[in-house]
Amino acid sequence: ELFADSEEDLIRFFGQIKTQVIRQLNIEFPLVEKKRSDLILECRTEKGPAAVHMEFQSTNDNDIPYRMLRYAADIKQKYNLPVYQILIYFGDREMNMADGLSFHFNAQNYLDYRFRTVDLGGITAEEIKKTGNYTLYALLPLTDREKRKQKGESFLRECAEEIARTPLSFEEKQKALLRAEIFAGLLYEEQVIEMIFREVENMLDLEQSAGYR
């Protein structure tokens, strides 16, 4: 829901593939641990029609490959589309999950299953900024794991100020800051988030007021 109007931007960045979103697919899969997958979209891609499944994960989980495989099977069964899966990890620790499952018993009984994985903490803030896509700036607080640990709350302040400096409209900056604040809640203490984002918002308000004079 945070990126309800920006799915194509997310797929292009995380999946490295151009798409045109047709519709969001029903994502209730009661057989899969009574869990809702995060985002499944019917898309036209440069490789043909597909169901693009993006799953967001905050902790390392050895069961992820099994869960992703069950999702893929359920999506294929329900919609009969090729399934392109992207696991986006934004945890505090380095990602160490497998990106698939395989076994080979004989020529008729084998499995070679893979999905794309992205460790958001392994992406630098500069990589996000170089895209020129300001929609992605809301993800800045989750990037650059090493720099984030070294700089602490000053890194979060830099992220918020970077959003405030974009050429977006006042309303779009507010929306991006709100998204970034929500994502920051996954890694930072509430008091730190509140202090930094209120300061940056006050700065924005002052700039907006000065512009009307």
Mean pLDDT (the chain) is 91
> pLDDT exceeding 90 applies to what percent of the chain?
82
Judged against a pLDDT cut of 50, whether residue 34 lies above it is answered with no
What DSSP string runs through 153-199? HHHHHHHHHHHHTSS--HHHHHHHHHHHHHHHTTTS-HHHHHHHHHH
Of 30-44, 118-132, 182-196, give the lowest mean pLDDT range.
30-44
Judged against a pLDDT cut of 70, whether residue 29 lies above it is answered with no
Residue type, 87: L
Are the C-beta atoms of 120 and 163 separated by less than 8 Å? Answer: no
Judged against a pLDDT cut of 70, whether residue 35 lies above it is answered with no
CATH assignment, 7-121: 3.40.1350
Number of H helices, E strands in the chain: 7, 9
- Domain positions in the chain: 7-121, 124-212
Element (H, E) at 203: helix 190-212
Q: How far apart are CA 200 and CA 18, in angstroms?
A: 34
Looking at residue 99, what is its pLDDT? 97
* Residues 159-186 pLDDT 10s: 999 999 999 999 999 999 999 999 999 9
Q: What are the C-alpha distances in Å from 99 to residues 37, 85, 109, 120?
A: 17, 10, 21, 15
Q: How far apart are CA 107 and CA 10, in angstroms?
A: 38
Looking at residue 28, what is its pLDDT? 65
Of 60-64, 107-111, 123-127, 203-207, give the lowest mean pLDDT range.
203-207
* Residues 67-80 pLDDT 10s: 999 999 999 999 99
- Strand-pairing partners, residue 56, are 88
Looking at residue 2, what is its pLDDT? 65
State the DSSP code for 82.
Answer: -
E-strand stretches of 97-165: 100-104, 110-114, 116-119
Return all residues near 63 (Cβ < 8 A) that are at least 6 apart.
none
